[in-house]
């Protein structure tokens, strides 16, 4: 038997997926969590050694558990948390903790440079925000002596996590990335899919510290002197996590749309070979590139999705485990009791389309008759309404919107998916594989092997269940109340 190995390096842990290369059946999966480092309020860091060890442990666990010969792994795909920024030397040794995408330490820098940056925004598709990598790189150079010294000695690599893992796997022979990750740094030109010297100069950086940008499904390098894998396994696919989910959902045509429900919810709309600049607060980003083609996407974000259910579980103790929320919410049999109850899940601000980072969460419209079930139902509605704000933005920015393909942990909640369909007036399609991020980059490795064409991806995608919009005035009036409440409270 031959295998594909997918490494999904996420924000809280690293997951490895072992897949039968012939049947594409997932044989095993292992996630290893690692510590989150919070040096001060608004700062979030990761130790790159922790990340590397979590990848190593997750890969070794599935190899040993399945008793396979790792020489039979045909190819590796890597997907990763996107904007998190690494600094390491040419030996692959970390020079500082990675600064995580959630980190806000460069907010003042962004505020100061906001006006000067505006002329570059169409080049990057991104607003100037601490979320993205360039300001994190600048901060590391300014505040970490080891990084500055390495820069002076020309012994510095700056990259996102994908390049760090590739560098370690190949024993420093391959220093590369691809457009879905590079487009999140604010240093890549969306038209060329290459580093932009004007942007690099704007942030006071140097191109020599950055990886080469390759196509998404190509030969990135091979394993060498890696103590948990044999030499010679090629890395044939690299994608940022949301783009990997887009690809795993076979969203390869213009108008295809996916939503990944994790801690937050992220939506990507394939806009084909057209760069679409949003008038609705959506991000313009690279989707993937192959065979000389550049594919673009619009992206919307709800910062809180599954995390709202965790809050019901951990803080309010309404449920013992997250999956119990569905039955509790389902027990509301009279929706008229819910007409004024709104759960605004803005624990870490509002994402698309309002981008208010100061917003706070709220539960509105409570009466003496409000029960735990009403709050649970309102929580699911709040998640769906947050996601729908991105869907409505897509509708205004782009003429074609296909059915919404869903993945991630909360996509298993049937009630949430039905509520989503009702609010968004779109059919919801849930595939058999909801580990779509890791699965997508494994399929990308097959494209890299030239065994599958991008145009054939839909043949590999299998539907598990669909949800069609139900006619009910309740959803239209609730949507109106949501919009009015956001305007009053947050804008």
In this prediction, what percent of the chain has a pLDDT beyond 90?
A: 86
pLDDT of the residue at 344: 96
Q: Six-digit token pair at 294?
A: 């550049």
Average pLDDT over residues 455-469: 93
User: Distance (Å, rounded) from C-alpha 299 to C-alpha 132?
Assistant: 14
Given the DSSP bridges, would you call strands 176-178 and 265-272 parallel, antiparallel or unpaired? Answer: unpaired
User: Distance (Å, rounded) from C-alpha 221 to C-alpha 400?
Assistant: 38
pLDDT in tens, 100-128: 988 889 989 998 999 999 999 999 999 89
Contact between 140 and 88 under an 8 Å Cβ cutoff? The reply is no
- Listing DSSP states for 52-64 in one string gives HHHHHHHHHHHHH
Average pLDDT over the chain, rounded to whole? 94
Query: Quick one: residue 221, left, alpha or beta (phi over 0 = left, psi -120 to 50 = alpha)?
Result: left
Residue 256 CB burial class (10 angstroms; 0-12, 13-18, ≥19): buried
Q: Comparing 3-232 with 250-491, is the CATH topology the same?
A: yes
Residue 74 CB burial class (10 angstroms; 0-12, 13-18, ≥19): middle
pLDDT for 299 beyond 90: yes
Which CATH code, of 3.40.50.720, 3.90.180.10, 3.80.10.10, 3.30.420.40, is assigned to 3-232? 3.30.420.40
Helices 306-314 and 372-397: angle between axes, nearest 10 degrees: 160
pLDDT of the residue at 129: 87
pLDDT of the residue at 355: 83
Helices 241-248 and 436-448: angle between axes, nearest 10 degrees: 80
CB atoms within 10 A of CB 68: 18
Question: What is the three-class DSSP state of 70?
Answer: helix
Q: What are the structural domain ranges in the chain?
A: 3-232, 250-491
User: Distance (Å, rounded) from C-alpha 320 to C-alpha 20?
Assistant: 36
pLDDT of the residue at 104: 87
pLDDT for 214 beyond 80: yes
Contact between 440 and 393 under an 8 Å Cβ cutoff? The reply is no
pLDDT of the residue at 163: 98
User: Distance (Å, rounded) from C-alpha 137 to C-alpha 256?
Assistant: 34
Average pLDDT over residues 463-489: 95
Contact between 229 and 59 under an 8 Å Cβ cutoff? The reply is yes
pLDDT of the residue at 357: 75
Average pLDDT over residues 173-201: 97
Helices 133-143 and 107-117: angle between axes, nearest 10 degrees: 120
Please provide the CATH number assigned to the domain covering 250-491. Answer: 3.30.420.40
In this prediction, what percent of the chain has a pLDDT beyond 70?
A: 100
User: Distance (Å, rounded) from C-alpha 105 to C-alpha 139?
Assistant: 9
pLDDT in tens, 339-395: 999 999 998 888 889 888 778 999 999 999 999 999 999 999 999 999 999 999 999
Average pLDDT over residues 418-426: 97
């Amino acid at each position: 038997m031959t295998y594909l190995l997918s490494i999904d390096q996420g924000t809280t842990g690293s997951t490895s997926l072992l897949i039968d290369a012939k049947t594409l059946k997932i044989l095993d999966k292992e996630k290893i969590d690692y510590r989150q480092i919070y040096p001060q309020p608004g700062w979030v860091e990761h130790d790159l050694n922790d990340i590397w060890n979590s990848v190593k442990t997750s890969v070794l666990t599935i190899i040993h558990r399945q008793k396979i010969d790792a020489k039979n792994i045909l190819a590796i795909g890597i997907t990763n948390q996107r904007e998190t920024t690494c600094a390491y030397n040419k030996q692959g040794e970390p020079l500082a903790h990675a600064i995580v995408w959630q980190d806000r330490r460069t907010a003042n820098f962004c505020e100061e440079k906001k006006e000067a940056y505006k002329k570059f925004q169409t080049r990057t598709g991104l607003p100037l925000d601490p979320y993205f990598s360039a300001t994190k790189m600048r901060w590391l150079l300014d505040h970490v002596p080891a990084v500055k010294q390495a820069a002076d000695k020309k012994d510095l690599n700056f990259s996102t996590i994908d390049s760090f893992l590739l560098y370690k796997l190949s024993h420093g022979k391959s220093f590369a990335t691809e457009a879905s990750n590079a487009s999140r740094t604010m240093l890549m030109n969306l038209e060329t899919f290459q580093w932009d010297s004007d942007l690099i100069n704007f942030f006071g950086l140097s191109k020599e510290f950055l990886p080469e940008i390759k196509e998404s499904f190509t030969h990135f390098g091979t394993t060498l002197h890696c103590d948990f894998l044999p030499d010679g396994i090629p890395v044939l696919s690299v994608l940022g996590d949301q783009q990997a989910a887009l690809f795993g959902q076979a969203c390869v045509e213009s108008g295809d749309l996916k939503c990944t429900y994790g801690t937050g919810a992220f939506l990507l709309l394939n806009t084909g070979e057209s760069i679409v600049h949003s008038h609705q607060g959506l991000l313009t980003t690279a989707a993937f590139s192959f065979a000389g083609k550049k594919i673009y996407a619009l992206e919307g974000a709800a910062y809180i999705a599954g995390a709202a259910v965790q809050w019901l579980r951990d803080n309010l103790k309404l449920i013992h485990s997250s999956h119990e929320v569905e039955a509790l919410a389902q027990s509301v049999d009279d929706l008229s009791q819910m007409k004024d109850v709104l759960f605004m899940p803005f624990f870490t601000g509002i994402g698309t389309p309002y981008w208010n980072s100061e917003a706070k969460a709220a539960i509105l419209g409570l009466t003496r008759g409000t029960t735990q079930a009403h709050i649970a139902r309102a929580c699911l509605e709040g998640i769906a309404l947050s996601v729908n704000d991105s869907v409505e933005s897509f509708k205004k920015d782009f003429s074609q919107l296909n059915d919404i393909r869903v993945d991630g942990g909360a996509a298993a909640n049937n009630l949430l998916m039905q509520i989503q369909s009702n609010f968004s007036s779109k059919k919801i399609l849930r595939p058999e594989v909801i580990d779509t991020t890791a699965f997508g980059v494994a399929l990308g490795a097959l494209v890299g092997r030239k065994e599958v064409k991008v145009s054939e991806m839909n043949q590999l995608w299998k539907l598990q269940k669909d949800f069609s919009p139900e006619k009910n005035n309740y959803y239209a009036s609730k949507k109106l109340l949501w919009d009015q409440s956001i305007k009053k409270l947050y804008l």
